[in-house]
């Protein structure tokens, strides 16, 4: 069986690991592999490269994706989807592995409806995919955030400040939640855990009365202007506040051991599913067990809020 692999949307540490596992495991089972350069854009342009055992050498420790990625909004158009199917057929490709997040899955769902045998692997630091406890890249990004938080806490304590840290997550607060617990933050603001600015400011006033010298606020992106909020805290409480937007540094870096293991398991599992003639599905991990669900179910459902929210207020 000829299988193509593409990475799409935002890059995530662990994407290369999943590609490596699928290729090396799949070759031993008699399959041939091609990489699609630059995601769906490359699929429409017909930009394929052959993937073999040797080409996978050294990629396990590399962040990002060596196949490159793009955000190709025009892939929503049926004309481009049909062109992609045509290119797959032209190269004799019988199966496609898509590694990415929500937008990537929507493209995979469209191709599945056109008859392409597709399997999705969740690769996004946001951890916002339904049907899996964790996505590839989440744990690496989390470690990056916590390391940054520890450093910011050092300077916050030295200068007796309040630090606001904005992290990625799109519309999911998992990165902020796990970082807040791991980094000992005093406040957590996410879509699942909204807290008013006034409530935070009043609590900071109480902290000053209790002679607490610093505080950390973790905020998921797209909720507020953290720089404006820092000014407001400085004006209304006795804390001087500084905001830090971690930005794209969260996406980079060598994948952690946890993401390497997860990527390896998911990549190999995709091949096992193809061998069982199972496709049109997304792979996930639930309670340490690999599972799969139809892609349309994954795309059309929202990931439930983490049970960790039940304890976060007790440990801040």
Residue 152 lies in a domain: yes
Residue 312 lies in a domain: no
What is the spatial distance between Cα 67 and Cα 19, in angstroms, rounded to a whole number?
9
Q: Residue 38's domain is classified under what CATH number?
A: 3.40.50.450
- For residues 58 and 180, state if they share a domain: no
Q: What is the pLDDT of residue 312?
A: 75
Residue 119 lies in a domain: yes
Q: What is the pLDDT of residue 313?
A: 60
Residue 174 in contact with residue 141, Cβ under 8 Å? no
- For residues 119 and 261, state if they share a domain: yes
Contacts of 209 (CB under 8 A, 6+ apart): none
What is the spatial distance between Cα 225 and Cα 227, in angstroms, rounded to a whole number?
6
Q: Encode pLDDT of 147-179 as tens digits.
A: 999 999 999 999 989 999 999 999 999 999 999
Q: What is the pLDDT of residue 316?
A: 52
Q: What is the pLDDT of residue 56?
A: 96
Containing domain of residue 210, as a range? Answer: 139-251
- For residues 78 and 192, state if they share a domain: no
> Could you confirm whether 52 is annotated as catalytic?
no
Label residue 211 left, alpha or beta by phi (over 0 means left) and psi (-120 to 50 means alpha).
left
- List the catalytic residue out of 126, 128, 143, 259: 126
Residue 308 lies in a domain: no
Whole-number Cα distances in Å, 191 to 201, 223, 228, 310:
19, 7, 19, 15
- For residues 199 and 284, state if they share a domain: no
User: Per the structure, how many domains does the chain have?
Assistant: 2
Q: Which residue has the tokens 């950390």?
A: 216
Please report, in tens digits, the pLDDT of each residue of the chain (316 residues total). Answer: 999 999 999 999 999 999 999 999 999 999 999 999 999 999 999 999 999 999 999 999 999 999 999 989 999 999 999 999 999 999 999 999 999 999 999 999 999 999 999 999 999 999 999 999 999 999 999 999 999 999 999 999 999 899 999 999 999 999 999 999 999 999 999 999 999 999 999 999 999 999 898 999 999 999 999 999 999 999 999 899 999 999 999 999 999 999 999 999 999 999 999 999 999 999 999 999 999 999 999 999 999 999 998 877 655 5
- For residues 7 and 116, state if they share a domain: yes
The whole-model pTM stands at 0.95
Residue 48 in contact with residue 172, Cβ under 8 Å? no
CB burial class (10 A; 0-12, 13-18, 19+) of residue 62? middle
- For residues 159 and 86, state if they share a domain: no
């Amino acid at each position: 069986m000829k299988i193509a692999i593409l990475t799409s949307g935002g890059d995530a540490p662990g994407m290369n690991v999943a590609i490596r596992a699928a290729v090396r495991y799949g070759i031993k089972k008699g399959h041939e592999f091609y990489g699609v350069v630059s995601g769906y854009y490359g699929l429409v342009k017909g930009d394929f490269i052959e993937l073999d055992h040797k080409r996978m050498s050294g990629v396990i420790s590399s962040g990002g994706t060596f196949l490159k990625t793009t955000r190709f909004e025009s892939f929503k158009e049926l004309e481009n989807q049909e062109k992609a199917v045509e290119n797959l057929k032209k190269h004799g490709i019988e199966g496609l592995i898509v590694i990415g997040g929500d937008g990537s899955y929507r493209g995979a769902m469209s191709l599945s409806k056109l008859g392409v045998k597709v399997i999705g692997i969740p690769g996004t630091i946001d951890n916002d995919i339904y049907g899996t406890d964790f996505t590839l890249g989440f744990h690496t990004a989390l470690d990056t955030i916590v390391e940054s938080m520890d450093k910011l806490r050092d300077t916050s304590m030295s200068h007796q400040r309040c630090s606001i840290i904005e992290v990625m997550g799109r519309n999911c607060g998992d990165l902020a939640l796990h970082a807040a617990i791991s980094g000992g933050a005093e406040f957590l603001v996410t879509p699942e855990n909204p807290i008013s600015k006034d409530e935070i400011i009043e609590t900071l006033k109480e902290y000053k009365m209790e002679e607490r010298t610093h505080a950390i606020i973790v905020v998921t992106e797209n909720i507020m202007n953290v720089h404006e909020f820092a000014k407001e805290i400085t004006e209304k409480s006795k804390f001087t506040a500084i905001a830090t937007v971690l930005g794209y540094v969260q996406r980079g870096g060598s994948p952690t051991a946890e993401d390497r293991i997860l990527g390896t398991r998911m990549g190999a599992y995709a091949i096992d599913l193809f061998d069982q003639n199972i496709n049109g599905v997304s792979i996930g991990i639930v309670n340490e067990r690999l599972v799969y669900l139809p892609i349309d179910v994954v795309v059309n459902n929202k990931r439930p809020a983490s049970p960790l929210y039940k304890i976060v207020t007790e440990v801040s």
